[in-house]
Amino acid sequence: MLPSPLAASMHDATRTITTLRSDAVEVPDLRIVVTPQKGPPIEAPLGVAPLVLGTSAECDVVIPDARVSRRHCQIRLSPRGIVVTDLGSKNGTFINDVLVHEGFLTPRAIASLGGVSLTVRVCGAPVLVPLSTSASFGEALGGSVPMRALFARLERAAATSETILLLGESGTGKEVLARAIHDASPRRGGPFVVLDCSAVAPGLIEAELFGYTRGAFTGAQTARAGLLEEANGGTLFLDELGELPLDLQPKLLRALEARQVRRVGAAAYTSFDARIVAATHRDLQGRVASGAFREDLYYRLAVVEAVVPPLRERKDDIPLLVERFLAAQAPPRSLDDLPPNALELLKGHHWPGNVRELRNTVARLVLFPHLAEQAIVKVAPRVDDMGVGPLAALTLREARDMVVEQFERRFISTKLREHGGNVARAAASMGVSRQLVHRLMDRYGIRSRD
């Protein structure tokens, strides 16, 4: 029996991403439709970037159903069709009632996530997505379609003075991209100033941003310009913007709108001329909906919004990144210096810590080539076992990241075991929020049931 014209067009629309030129791909105009048993359907566009579905607020599509796991499955568009991949969910992912780890969502097929149905709808004609002709943007690397699409968007935005908001998981390289935006902009001759909102005590962020006068508070023995003034003529990168205190957000909005700051303790305003690039791993739209982030500030900063894909969604870029990290070693190394099958192991890992985790893993492989599998999929050797000597071959930042990662993995795993896998109780015993523990568990691939 021949397929109907509608089914045939549906098949063509969902089957392929077509490369038309070296600088563009044609992507079908699709929306995924999730139908919970209670509540209205949930729709989301499916484009070059994959979508992660689950109950976690950090997922691209949040499904409010207890039978769905925190990170249940991923759906992505490939040259052969729509691919659904289970992410280790508790109740499994099914396509037409068949349990799958990975499978194609064909026309008229129905996927099931713990009882919640998932289908795909064709909305219109295919969309032409521009691609960068380069596999790099500044120090950021990526020859995959998602990264080249991101580079094309940022290349175009960098030439303007518009604010840019970078969204993505921890370790995806948002600061590297912010630096690349600055270097590709007309402001490249000016300063590039960084404020990590999560690394400064909430009560001190205002003084850091806006500056202060002498005697404005205890310890203010001299006047000091804030980072908005220091970035004059250049770029201010606000990292982890989602951690900005709510009471400070209207002051930042006012400063950005007026292009003026008033130092703490001062009566007069000072003009500044800095471009703002912000970044966060938080779901800012969700925080706006919950009242934790001001909607007007969000829209002021998200003039250009770009999502940085996690490493697991662009594993074709792993050899390119590994080659870069090896070349940066002292002495420089190449892919030929890796242990046998190491590259295959690297491609098979989930990379919850993204490019940062990959960089640290490559450093471990160089230090301990005989422990290739453990270095990639398990944990680093204990610092007290290996001493400081091997770490001396790394930069301070690389060595510190390796030690912190090892400690956090072991500490969180120990606390979860002590509390029977209960994240809330483990977080309380550590004196931190559940959200932080979940984020670290995602970064290191730790599951409470394990």
Statement to judge: residues 318 and 353 lie in one domain? yes
Point out which residues pair with 127 in neighbouring strands.
Answer: 27
- pLDDT bin (cut points 50, 70, 90) of residue 53 is very high
182 within some domain:
yes
pLDDT value of residue 244: 92
Domain count, the chain: 4
| Least confident among 22-36, 210-224, 235-249, 353-367 | 210-224
Which CATH number does the domain housing residue 338 bear? 1.10.8.60
Last residue of a domain, one of 307, 330, 358: 307
Statement to judge: residues 249 and 144 lie in one domain? yes
Statement to judge: residues 418 and 360 lie in one domain? no
pLDDT value of residue 8: 38
- pLDDT bin (cut points 50, 70, 90) of residue 4 is very low
196 within some domain:
yes
11 within some domain:
no
Distance from C-alpha of 17 to C-alpha of 77, rounded to nearest angstrom: 7
Which CATH number does the domain housing residue 237 bear? 3.40.50.300
- pLDDT bin (cut points 50, 70, 90) of residue 43 is very high
Statement to judge: residues 45 and 106 lie in one domain? yes
Q: Can you give the residue range of the structural domain that contains 417?
A: 396-444
pTM, to two decimals: 0.73
Any idea what DSSP says for residue 60? S
Statement to judge: residues 36 and 98 lie in one domain? yes
Last residue of a domain, one of 287, 307, 327: 307
Does the pLDDT at position 308 exceed 50? yes
* pLDDT tens-digit map of 261-271: 989 888 889 99
Q: Identify which of 124-128, 167-171, 253-257, 261-265 has the greatest average pLDDT.
A: 253-257
Statement to judge: residues 345 and 234 lie in one domain? no
- pLDDT bin (cut points 50, 70, 90) of residue 398 is low
Does the pLDDT at position 205 exceed 50? yes
Largest CA distance in the chain: 85
Statement to judge: residues 239 and 146 lie in one domain? yes
Statement to judge: residues 153 and 242 lie in one domain? yes
Statement to judge: residues 251 and 363 lie in one domain? no
Q: Cβ neighbours of residue 182 under 8 Å, at least 6 residues apart?
A: 158, 188, 192, 234, 235, 237, 275, 277
pLDDT value of residue 354: 92
